[in-house]
Amino acid sequence: MDDLGFILLSYIATFGSTAVLAWRVLHRGRALGGQLPDDDKPWV
Amino acid sequence: MRRTEIVSTNTGTTGTTFTRWFGLLAVVALALVAVFGLVLSPPDVVQGESVRILYLHVGTVWVAYLAFVVTAVSSAAYLWKRSSSLTWDRVAGASAEIGVLYMGVTLLTGALWGRLSWGTFWVWDARVTTTAFMFITYIGYLAVRGLGGSHRQRARRSAVVALLAVLEIPLVHFSVELWRSVHQDASVAGRTTDVTLDGLMLFTLLLSTVAFTLVYVWFVLHRQRVLAMEDALDDRGLDYALIERRREGAMR
């Protein structure tokens, strides 16, 4: 049962850090996208 | 005046229809890793329940290796021709960031697993120590990217660092063979391994590597677009400053 805390912590840390980075990247993208014309965004 | 015009013509973010579907696929794959890793796969006969941590440990270290190799290849592609597109440099930078994140996660999950299996969070073992050294090296690489100068200067100096840093990967990988190590050898693709994995455990391990690879690709696509926009904004900022200086000069 001691193992459960360590196992859950490893899953929370892995998925949590992935989610935080994803949110930061998308948020930064939205913030910058609002300051630039489409010419600077070839993927649009 | 021009600034107002620029702001009014913006649309979209870093996402496209493709990246949205790709991101959804990655999320589903990660959810499956959690279900198989925590619930459906059986405990190991030797390690017991702690083997569930290794599904994350192996998947994330694979992505970290992949990310650092992509960083090196993109850096080499940039240096190959000085006139190369800065996209190579941005892919290298984006890839290294994801690699650092997952190398950090690898060290953390390794420490948690080590506490359960070895009775301690940390040992000065060859594999563990070289992995920590590589982690610090790539933090240094990201710091070098943040130094001042033009985009081309940043690309050139960070590419050189990336090509040197990638030499650590074989050192880390073969450290368990080169030195005495408490870290286990490769369980699936090792040259001398005779370990037999349960079908569901092997499936979960492979699912994890595929899931984290999908996440990695999604991250690189978005992050290198963010870096492209940061560079573009830098360039435009310089344009505005030059226009202002010329205006000031004309008024004198």
pLDDT tier at B1 (50, 70, 90 boundaries)?
Answer: very low
CB contact under 8 A, A14 and B226: no
Integer Cα distance of B197 and B180 in angstroms = 25
**In chain A, what residues touch B219 (CB-CB under 8 Å)?**
21-22, 25
Residue B5: band (very low, low, confident or very high) from pLDDT cuts 50, 70, 90: very low
Q: Which two tokens stand for residue B72?
A: 């090196």
User: SS3 for chain B, per residue?
Assistant: CHHHHHHHCCCCCCCCHHHHHHHHHHHHHHHHHHHHHHHHCCCECCCECCHHHHHHHHHHHHHHHHHHHHHHHHHHHHHHCCCCCHHHHHHHHHHHHHHHHHHHHHHHHHHHHHHHHCCCCCCCCHHHHHHHHHHHHHHHHHHHHCCCCCHHHHHHHHHHHHHHHCCHHHHHHCHHHHCCCCCCCCCCCCCCCCCCCCHHHHHHHHHHHHHHHHHHHHHHHHHHHHHHHHHHHHHHHHHHHHHHHHHHHHHC
Tokens of B146: 């943040």
Percent of chain B exceeding pLDDT 70 equals: 85
Residue B176: Cβ within 10 Å count: 19
Tell me the pLDDT band of B106, cut-offs 50, 70 and 90.
very high
CB contact under 8 A, A34 and B101: no
Q: Which residues of A make CB contacts under 8 Å with B?
A: 2-4, 6-7, 9-11, 13-15, 17-18, 21-22, 25-26, 28-30, 32-38, 40-41, 43-44
pLDDT of residue B186: 62
Q: Identify from B229, B234, B239, B240 which residue to disrupt to test chain A contact, counting A C-beta atoms within 10 A and taking the largest count.
A: B229
* Among B residues 91-150, those touching chain A with beta carbons less than 8 Å apart: 98, 101, 104-105, 108-109, 112-113, 115-116
Is A11–B34 a contact, with Cβ atoms under 8 angstroms apart? yes
Give the contacts of B129 (CB within 8 A, at least 6 positions apart).
none
Contacts of B198 (CB under 8 A, 6+ apart): B41, B42
pLDDT of residue B4: 43
Domain boundaries, chain B: 48-186+199-245
What pLDDT was estimated at residue B16? 87
Per-residue pLDDT of chain A (44 residues; tens, 9 = 90+): 578 899 999 999 999 999 999 999 999 999 888 888 887 788 87
* Chain A residues closer than 8 Å to B50 by CB: 3, 6-7
B10 touches chain A (CB under 8 A): yes
Tell if the pTM clears 0.80, that is, is over it. yes
- The pLDDT tens digits for B121-174 are 988 888 899 999 999 999 999 999 999 888 999 999 999 999 999 999 999 888
